[in-house]
Amino acid sequence: MKMKRTLSLAMAGALCLTLLSGCGGDSGSAGSSTPAQSGPSSSSEGPTASTPIKIGGIGPLTGAVAVYGVATYQGAQIAVEEINALGGIQFDMNFQDDEGDAEKATNAYNNLKDWGMQLLYGTTTTTPCVAVSTESFHDRYFQLTPSASSTDVTSGKDNVFQMCFTDPNQGITAANYVSENALGSKIAVIYNNGDAYSTGIATAFIAQAQELGLEIVSTTTYPDDNNTDYTVQLNDAKNKGADLVFIPIYYTPASLILNQAKGMDYAPIFFGCDGLDGILDLEGFDTALAEGLMLMTPFNAWDTDATTSTFVSSYMAKYNVMPNQFAADGYDCIYAIYEACKQAGVTADMSSSETCEKLIATFTSSSFTLDGLTGSGMAWGANGEISKAPVVVVVENGQYVTQ
């Protein structure tokens, strides 16, 4: 299933860029892409060939889910710097912190409107993205999210597109993979019933598993990711003989589940989705606990193709950490915007509404595809959903191995 991926011209020069400081900057300037509160430009001069297209960005840089927002910001920042180094179209990205909160995301969106953004990159997580996409649809701003995967993000909104798989798509694909590869004879499902992402995937997985004749012997939930004890859920799965546990959750609770399963001498196959990506970098986590863990992710940082290797080298040189899928999604988002702007003829002097209509027409055109870090020949439908092949990896010796 390994895919050869090629990006546009900028990858050749990626390692030649000047390495800037990381995500902690307090101020930003055009093209620097540092997260900052920026006011409208005071210049009275009209746009020139080097005037940047203003991209607003929103995601959690602080708070409980900051790991996702920081990754999507950093991946996008590398892409912006590469593109600006090419000459031609220039980008200025102003990325605002929403702490994973819908109200704060809406406030950030309004700040970006005041700043003069032409289009929106984000938001990172689902609940804030649903709130902001309602506003962007009304105001006619083009919006591309790296990782907000609920169908509620795009439903009824022709201006909103996703780089990530939708929740139902992940659930259905996971069930198909488990069935096709005969990974488990008895299956348990543990999910967060207070989270739209987790619930959406679990619901689709259970329905598809039943359609395929898979035996689900245990379905248990927990109310939020602050939960620390999963022994009830694990005991139910173990006592009912589950040899595969499907966990469509984020990696923080997953790390506790793996640890507690080992403590009770329970070793089924654990299978999850893209929310598990990053577990190997979780501070204080014993990566040996993840040995054999399987997950669906569109990006494998240990892949050896040239595009991935160059991105990983650039990312690690700049941030001193291995990029995860969310960083790759962010990188691909900016390149998708770049290629669409080139094809549509978007310029810095266009209004947000004109930019929006041009990019909608381009993204939904049959002639527009993207070869990126997270897929080859990626394309979008009128419903904003992306079409690309999923990748399943297994953790072996602290690394992902593509299946």
The stretches of 228-270 forming alpha helices (DSSP H) are 231-239, 251-263
Residues 291, 134: Cα–Cα separation, whole Å? 41
Residues 286, 288: Cα–Cα separation, whole Å? 5
Residues 297, 228: Cα–Cα separation, whole Å? 25
Whole-number pLDDT of residue 236: 98
- Residues 5-27 have pLDDT tens digits of 334 434 444 433 333 333 333 33
Q: How many other β-carbons are positioned within 10 Å of the β-carbon of residue 73? A: 31
Which tokens sit at 57?
């960005």
> In 242-352, which ranges are E strands?
244-247, 269-272, 294-296
Domains and CATH numbers, the chain: 9-42+49-165+304-387 (3.40.50.2300), 167-297 (3.40.50.2300)
Q: Which residues of the chain have pLDDT under 70?
A: 1-49
Q: Alpha carbon of 309 to those of 265, 316, 322, 330, 379: distances in Å?
A: 38, 11, 11, 17, 24
Tell me whether strands 142-145 and 160-162 are parallel, antiparallel or unpaired.
parallel
Q: CB neighbours of 110 closer than 8 A, spacing ≥ 6? A: none
Whole-number pLDDT of residue 49: 55
- Residues 244-260 have pLDDT tens digits of 999 999 999 999 999 99
pTM value is 0.82
> In 130-196, which ranges are E strands?
142-145, 160-162, 187-192
